[in-house]
Structures are given as C-alpha cells and as structure tokens.
A and B are shown apart, each in its own frame.
Chain A
C-alpha cells in the first residue's frame, strides 16, 4: 500500500474552513484515498473516501489532484467538535485478500480554536 505524508499538526479558527493536505505520490491506479478522524478517547470515525473524482458528503469534501499524488480534506465550517487527529490512508479496493486492511500513519492533529 502507498505511504502517505501529512503535517503533524494544524490550527484553524472556529467557523472557518479547515483544509488538511495529504501527499501520496506513490499511489497506484487501484488505490483509494480514505480519511478517518479520531477524537480523543474514541474509535476512529470514517469521514470520506475517493478514487479520482472529488467527493462530498455531509461531513466533508475530498479534493484529489488530477495526477492523484495528493489530496485535501475540507471541513467547510469547522467547529470545536472537529478537534481530532485526522488520518489520510491509501488502500486498495476490492476483495483481494489483505486489501482491506487500513495502515494508519501518525495523522494530523487538528485543533479548532474559538
């Protein structure tokens, strides 16, 4: 699975958009980009995932560059409850044995400030 690189920490003001970058320059054609977050003392929460098109759901938007070597997670109106560690993970899709496992890096610690 491709490795990802994220900034160690970021700050964002409450009510502003939080843009979290992720580099995955070795991503291959059948690998998806996933984002999870972990709020203190809780299990990781799925946010969004995509292959090559931009995706949006009720939580966030995912922007993937045309060459797929990087992506940005956007929280459009950050609140204090969005303070968490955000993980960008690249994973193969499908039912290939071993394809389903998630490899977590250190993630980005996002702090939303009032």
Chain B
C-alpha cells in the first residue's frame, strides 16, 4: 500500500482566507483524488487530480473555489478559497496506482473556519 502524507493535519482559519492542503505519496501513482467529509457525514468526492492536465470536478464543486494542482506523480495540492464556516470539514487525499484497483487514503486535514 502507498504511504500518504497530508499537511497540515488540522488548521483553524478566518473566513475570507484561503488554505492550501498538500498531499505527498511515497511512490508514483496514476490517480489522485480529493474528498470532503462534512461533520457527521460521509465522504464526497471533490475532484480527480490528473497529472499534466486540469482536474476533473464533481457536480457541485468548481475550480474557482477548490483549485487543484498536480505537478508530478507523487504530489498534489487542494486550495480551499475564500473560506466560510460552511467549509469546515475534513479534507482527504486518496491515491490509486495504475491497474491496482485499490484506493488508499491519507489521514485527512481537519479544517475549522471561524
């Protein structure tokens, strides 16, 4: 399985600011994904981060609010822009190697917006 590191593990931010979350994997992976887990809820996919191309966003999520970078096969960032208290959630990165058919998750970033 892949070892996934997310930074920061938690943060408290003021409304109107932005936070960039990093996801680092210990091996090259084809697919990287970003999920959101709102308090007491299940996980929802935000977008698929494609290396060398634009991220693919799910319905209800837009690039202006959640810009994503994927500069290489081991790293991705998710930015939560112009935050409001409704953005308080756990944000999780997951990865899947080509042909592996298994996704592995990072520990998540717990974000609180005041």
Contact = CB atoms under 8 A, between A and B. Distances in A.
Contacts of A98: 48, 56
A101 B42 contact: no
A48 to B, nearest CB: 10
A97 B50 CA distance: 11
A105 B108 CA distance: 18
Interface string B26-48: 00000101000000001111001
B48 A44 contact: no
B103 A46 contact: yes
A57 B48 CA distance: 29
Interface in A42-77: 42-46, 49
Interface residues of A, number: 21
Interface in A77-98: 87, 93, 95, 97-98
A45 B92 CA distance: 12
Contacts of A87: 42
Contacts of B33: 100-102
B102 A100 contact: no
20 contacts: A32-B101, A41-B110, A42-B107, A43-B92, A43-B94, A43-B105, A43-B106, A43-B108, A44-B94, A49-B101, A87-B42, A97-B56, A100-B96, A100-B103, A101-B45, A101-B48, A102-B45, A102-B94, A102-B103, A104-B43
Given A43-B92, A102-B103, A104-B44, 14 more contacts: A44-B43, A45-B105, A46-B102, A46-B103, A93-B101, A95-B99, A98-B56, A100-B33, A100-B103, A101-B33, A101-B48, A101-B58, A102-B45, A104-B42
Interface of A: 32, 41-46, 49, 87, 93, 95, 97-98, 100-107
